[in-house]
A and B are shown apart, each in its own frame.
Chain A
Amino acid sequence: MRGDGRSRRVAVVPDAYLNPAPGAADRLAELAEGGWGVVALPQPGLPRDVEAGALAAVVDQLAAFLDDGYEVALAEPDDRAARRLVELLAADGRRIEAGASP
């Protein structure tokens, strides 16, 4: 038995956190050091239907966390996919906070 090691802190991050540009700060590693788990938004450039399917999956995951009281925060609220996510969650009556930082 290991006990419940889950941090109950979830940051929603853009693809650039998973795959930072050469020389850019590793924001994913910084969030990880702060105990955050992450849910990645779809990468830019996907066909509209594929992005919609991927975003729907993100909504599913986040709804589970939000409904059980986990801390869920957007790392980059101005990201295009993040703004779309906020709209989709709002349509289901859910809100997500901005500002995940290490």
Chain B
Amino acid sequence: MVVCYLAHCLLNANAKVDEGARCAGVSMPVLALLREHGATIRQMPCPELGFGGTRRFWAVREQYDTPAYRAHCRRLAEPVAAQVRADLAAGARVVIIGIDGSPSMGVELTAADESWGGRPDKPRDEDYPVTPGAGLFTETLLGLLGDTVPPVRAVGIGQDLFDYDETRELARLGRVVAAEGGPDAR
């Protein structure tokens, strides 16, 4: 059995920033893919929504990287980590599905730039500073799960990337879920 922990916005695009949503509500292609693979679905909380609300601006890691936001992420991540551990103990494989390009939910790619701050002056999509690395919530959650056996797998869908290619990203996600859910996964 494979259990997939989804970034909140994959099931609820209302959590995205204005102009950040790629669908009205549920990302149907992602849902269909997980259904196809028989995955158990769990939804993680959106740390930015609870902290900044629905009217927040786009932001980068440096703007969120405060002790208060890290504590907020930890408070949200602790119940998730407990559920992940319980799933692993029950014999499941676990895949954490984040949002590449997100300052909070990125897995392989986040957004970071020391120059962001003050008057919003980065209006173009191309200005969004995608950078290798994990987002703050992902980093916190994976830190809490650092000693799990077997280790959890984390993968990001690039919905926050300027050049998002849904076909490519779904294919990549499908390979990860299939590998974790297949007969050779253990």
Beta-carbon contact of B125 and A1 below 8 Å = yes
In the A-B complex, the 4 residue pairs with the closest CB atoms: A37-B12, A37-B25, A53-B79, A32-B26
Collect the chain A residues with CB atoms within 8 Å of residue B24's CB: 5-7, 9, 35, 37
User: How many chain B residues have a CB neighbour from A under 8 Å?
Assistant: 39
Q: Residues on A close to B: CB < 8 A?
A: 1-10, 18-19, 26, 28-29, 31-33, 35-40, 43, 46-47, 50-51, 53-54, 56-58, 60-61, 63-65, 67-68, 70
Beta-carbon contact of A8 and B26 below 8 Å = no
- Shortest CB-to-CB span from A67 to chain B, Å, is 7
Beta-carbon contact of B26 and A31 below 8 Å = yes
Looking at B21, B26, B49, B54, the one whose CB has the most chain A CB atoms below 10 A away is: B26
Residue ID in chain B nearest A36 by CB atoms = B25
Please pick, from B12, B19, B22, B86, the residue contacting A10 in the complex, using a CB distance under 8 A. Answer: B12
Beta-carbon contact of A8 and B14 below 8 Å = yes
Collect the chain B residues with CB atoms within 8 Å of residue A33's CB: 28
In the assembled complex, B53 has its CB within 8 A of some CB on chain A: yes
How far, in angstroms, from A2 to B86 measured CA to CA in the complex? 40
Beta-carbon contact of A70 and B14 below 8 Å = yes
How far, in angstroms, from A57 to B25 measured CA to CA in the complex? 19
Collect the chain A residues with CB atoms within 8 Å of residue B16's CB: 6
Q: Would you list 8 pairs from A and B whose C-beta atoms are within 8 A, ordered by A residue?
A: A28-B26, A37-B13, A39-B11, A50-B82, A50-B83, A53-B82, A64-B53, A65-B14
- Shortest CB-to-CB span from A47 to chain B, Å, is 7
Residue ID in chain B nearest A60 by CB atoms = B50
Collect the chain B residues with CB atoms within 8 Å of residue A9's CB: 14, 24-25
In the assembled complex, B8 has its CB within 8 A of some CB on chain A: yes
